[in-house]
Structures are given as C-alpha cells and as structure tokens.
Amino acid sequence: MEKTIIKNKSNQNWEDFFKLDLDRKMDFYEKDGKIYDCLFAQQLSKELLESLFDIADKLRKTTKTKEGADFIASLLSHKKAMLYFAQPSTRTFLSFLNACHILGMKTSEIRDSSTSSEVKGESHDDTVRTFSSYVDLIIMRHPAPGSAERTAWLLNNTNRPIPVLNAGSGKDQHPTQALLDIYTLHRQFKGHIDGKRIVMVGDLKRGRTVRSLSYLMKNYKNISIDFVSPKEFKMEQDILDFLKAHNIPYTETEDFASVMPKADAIYMTRIQDEHDASGESKKVDYSPFYFKEEHLKMIKSSCILLHPLPRRFEIDAKVDNDERAVYWRQERNGMWIRAALIAYIFGIENKIK
C-alpha cells in the first residue's frame, strides 16, 4: 500500500523524493519483501546479514570442487551484469566482477565515463537507461552522492526496472564495503560481534566506508565506537545523531594511543584527498593516525586490524605479517559476500547448499 503511494510520488519529482526520510522511501527499493536495490547500509537488517553470511560461507565451501563450482556457475548463467565504475576502483570492481563470474553471470563494464556517450552530451539518466536495455543488474560507483539511488529511482519508474547495487556513491555511502567489513568481523569474532569496542581511525569526514559501517552497528548489542581523527576530519553529525538515536555510545578523540589498548577491532582509513579541491588535506598532519609496527604491542592479543584498502602510509607494511592484521582476508571476503548478495537479489539463495 505504502509502496504504491511512494512510487506514485516519486514519479513526480526526484528532488522531493530524495529528501524524504529513509524510513519513508525504503519500500520503494524493495520487491516482494526483499531488498531489490542495495543502496544504503541502513537497508541491511540483522536477519539479512546473518543469512548473507551463511550464503557466503556455503559459496566458499561449495566452489572448492570443480563439480561444486560448475553447479554454482550454472545458477545465474542466464543473467547479465553491468559494472559501471565512474571512479577509480581495484578491489570493489574485481570482487564484484569475480562474484558475478562465480555465479555464472556474463558481465560488461564501463570504467571511465569518458568512454561512454556521456562525452557526446548524453545525460546520466539516458546512459543508465541504456544499460537496462541490455543487462539484468547494474553495479555502480560514481563520485556524486546519491548517484546510485538516483539510478535506482529512475529505473524503478521505467517499464524495465533492474536492480542497482551501490559500489560507492561519492562521500556518502558504500554499503557493500560495510557488508564485507561486518562479514570480516563476524568471521574473526566467530559470530560474536555484540559487546565489541570498535575504533575507527582517519579521515572520518570524507570516508564513505566508516559512515556505512557505523550504520550497521544498529544491528548489534552493546557495541561502542571510538572515532579517532584529526579535528579537520571528524565524523559528520548525521552519523553521530544516528548512533545517539540507536543508543550506541561513542567517543571522539585525536589521541589514538589512548584507545588502542581498549579496542577489539581497529578500522583504519586513508586520507581522502581526491575530494579536496582547496588543498585542505595537505595542511593536516596525518601521522598521529598511522598504525605503526611498535603499536602492535599496545593492542590486545585478540584485537583485529581492518582497512578497506587501498592504504598509503596509515598502516606500516611490516604490520601485515601479524596475525591480527586481517585486511587481506577482508578484501577476499568482499568477493564472497558480494556473490551472496547477488544470489539473494536474484532469489537463488536456497539453491546454494
């Protein structure tokens, strides 16, 4: 009922629809009670996360044999995906591409909008409508905040809607990164995320991964977060308000060393100076927010170190050999959990045994 009302409204005006509270428009991105377009981390419920973890675990196991891998690759061999990446990407692109291939999907890609007809003046809307003429799924990364949502909204108002997965939209959201981050926490903590103290470090203002991961904390009990950043790059107020509304305690500090011994997980991030037209980032001393080899003795023996990657200087490569450094496992988890998400979107999860 509500869905129809919102759909009709959205037909009238994108700007008004875009401004609606997420709770009011969530239905518009669902179909038959399931997520249809994965655009925001807030869409990911505890129940869905648990089910995706289970699918990802089964995919890992089943594909170990040729017979199993061939079976999984038969499940979506009739489907095609478009990877539209208008921003640089290595692991999000490759993990999605390989996730599609694990499920047998055929893929096409645009990795640079200067090679699409957008340079001839075609609008973004017409470009993405064109994708939907040829494929069954769009996976997109774009520098503009809200870009994936706009695409999903547009296609849901056409007679050929296809699901849209947000692979990073400007500074605002990166829900599938949050998905692989939480899958990594789930695996490393053997299913016990409740009660953990998570420290997020770095450029919290412009990093979309920490924003999306913060939203996911709503699904867990007794979580606390410490945000560690230079004062120029503090976490934005909308996320702090969200945490308050969900009774998730947090602290904000510039003193990384003070929270290191208390952390169950430390999530490092990179300075996002590609967003910086004014050169603001260059003036900031970022070195107090690096994790160095000498810090290994300051953290708990059970504390894990994550990073969405790519890294620059914020984690010393000498740290990589410590068993608590899990970022290489984390990037591989991305492929499995993204395959699980695609399987769920296409409703084939029950065939994966």
Footprint on this chain of ligand NCD (rule: CB under 6 A): 91-92, 168, 174, 177, 208-209, 269-270, 308-309
Residue 152 has which token pair?
A: 């999903």
Query: Is 174 known to be catalytic?
Result: yes
Residue 95 has which token pair?
A: 């993990």
201 or 352: CB nearest ligand NCD? 201
Query: Is 221 known to be catalytic?
Result: no
Query: Is 120 known to be catalytic?
Result: yes
Shortest gap between Cβ of 147 and ligand NCD (angstroms)?
14
Scanning the structure block, which residue is given the tokens 């001393």?
285
Burial 215-245 (b: 16+ CB within 10 A, else e): bbbbbbeebbbbbbbbeebbbbeebbebbee
Shortest gap between Cβ of 287 and ligand NCD (angstroms)?
17
Within 10 Å of residue 72's Cβ, how many Cβ atoms? 21
CA torsion 190-194-196-199 (nearest 10°) is 100
230 or 308: CB nearest ligand NCD? 308
Shortest gap between Cβ of 18 and ligand NCD (angstroms)?
21
331 or 349: CB nearest ligand NCD? 331
Measured CA distances, 57 to 60, 67, 77, 352 (Å): 5, 17, 21, 10
Shortest gap between Cβ of 202 and ligand NCD (angstroms)?
9
Query: Is 92 known to be catalytic?
Result: yes
182: Cβ–Cβ under 8 A, 6 or more apart, which residues?
Answer: 49, 193, 213, 216
Phi, psi of 234 (to 5 degrees): -70, 160
Active-site option among 25, 58, 171, 174:
174
49 or 210: CB nearest ligand NCD? 210
Active-site option among 92, 151, 176, 209:
92
Residues forming the active site: 91-92, 120, 141, 174
